[in-house]
Amino acid sequence: MIDAARRPRMDPDRLRRARSYRKFSLALELVTAAVGIVVMLGLYWAGTGVAVRDAFAHLLQGGARPCDLVSCPGGTPVRAGVTYLVIVVFTLIGSLVALPEAYLGWRRGRREGLVVQSWRGELADRAKALVITVVLVGVPVTAWYLILVRPEWAAWTIVGSLVLSAAGTLAGPTLAGLFFRFEPLADAEVAQRVRAVAERAGVRVSGVYRWGMAAKTTAANAAVLGVGPTKRIVLGDTLLERFPMEEVESVVAHEVGHDVSGDPPRYVVALGIAGAAALVVIRVALDRVICGAAGCAAGAVGPVGGVADPASYPLVAAALALLSFVGRPALMAFTRWRESAADVFGARHTSPDSMGRALVRLADQNLSDPEPPRWEEIWFYSHPRIADRVRKLGLRWEDVG
């Protein structure tokens, strides 16, 4: 048991604010998700998908009446162009629908002192994220629509989902660089101590970098980014400025634990399988919704030729959001399992004392409720409750709120 003066503790006022902030964030997330789903369903049933599809088909086919965009012989370039443009339009609509949520979340974060970035900066980041989405998500989704006309579509869906998951992991460091500044850590002593933590665990890194988080938030974080010779440890400036060195080492050991345990490829496989399963279920289920019990092979009964028709996209987007919500507990259980294992690894390579204190300091600085209701943890939390993480290290948690 650690000394009483060094027991994990959280400032009572911040604990109260963390609980209020959690309730606000949860309500905002649920309302935004529901509104997004309802809007997409409304657009689909209003025929907006058909109208947008036909408008782009008319444009790309030089004014001629579009052929069947599901099976038109030799029409792949047109189908690809129309499908991608339909996806872009509804992605833009979805982004606009989410703007009120973004503003309310930003305003509350500023009020709590957690968000530092201006609203203009927030909008700039969202614009960058939108561009990334229409390219890195829009193109693969377009490819998925094109393969749906093939008999082996399910196999290609599984392969494509796994490839996309792996590509996203590999591109992560590059994408992070679009939103944050990373520079080599100037403090040689700190860098050496961080390297030593990784080396004791058998992990070789190319460098230790300072992660410029303070321009956007007061929250603290750290990560291991890259693979092979590009692998590096990044430490948030907010972490370096407010955490004692032994706690920084524990946070680093936790992150290194993910790498040593092979969590990155685990996440690739888990996300790839989850994504493929969702897409297969959506294709089969929505074909019945669109074309009737006989399925789309018997011919569509309306203006939408099944899921393979780009006019179905708003319905697909709504179904994907709903299915992601329903299936979320399984994925969250998986990530909590890996986070708990990383805690144990970090405590073993530093100490349970410093790991426990680091976890509580993270909760305090990041304004996180250490003990949300269990049902919220099951449905929404990628990490175990911080109070439980501390207890699992053999330490005593004192709820001082």
Cβ–Cβ < 8 Å for 21, 367: yes
Weakest mean pLDDT among 50-54, 278-282, 395-399: 395-399
The mean pLDDT value of the chain amounts to 90
Grouping H, G, I as helix, E, B as strand and the rest as coil, residue 235 is: strand
How confident is residue 383, by pLDDT bands cut at 50, 70 and 90? very high
Question: Quick one: pLDDT at residue 293?
Answer: 63
Largest Cα separation within the chain, whole Å, is 80
What backbone phi and psi angles, to 5 degrees, belong to 223? -165, 160
Contacts of 65-74 with CB under 8 Å at 24 or more apart are 68/305, 69/305, 69/309, 69/310, 70/149, 70/305, 70/306, 70/308, 70/309, 71/149
Question: Quick one: pLDDT at residue 298?
Answer: 53
Is it the case that residue 4 has pLDDT exceeding 50? no
This prediction has a pTM of: 0.89
Weakest mean pLDDT among 265-274, 280-289, 390-399: 390-399
Helix pair 48-60, 76-97: axis angle to 10 deg: 140
Token pair recorded at residue 182: 């990373």
- Residue keyed to tokens 């339009």: 89
Question: Quick one: pLDDT at residue 399?
Answer: 40
Weakest mean pLDDT among 55-64, 236-245, 248-257, 326-335: 55-64
Cβ–Cβ < 8 Å for 203, 179: no
pLDDT tens digits, residue range 350-374? 999 999 999 999 999 999 999 999 9
CA distance 325 to 19: 23
pLDDT tens digits, residue range 94-140? 999 999 999 999 999 999 999 999 999 999 999 999 999 999 999 99
Is it the case that residue 5 has pLDDT exceeding 60? no
Residue with more model confidence, 197 or 12: 197
Of 235, 239, 18, 26, which is closest to residue 114 (Cα–Cα)?
18
pLDDT tens digits, residue range 163-192? 999 998 888 888 999 999 999 999 999 999
Is it the case that residue 49 has pLDDT exceeding 60? yes
Is it the case that residue 64 has pLDDT exceeding 70? no
Domain residue spans of the chain: 31-152+266-392
Is it the case that residue 75 has pLDDT exceeding 80? no
Angle at 375 between CA 353 and CA 265, to 5 degrees: 65
Is it the case that residue 342 has pLDDT exceeding 70? yes
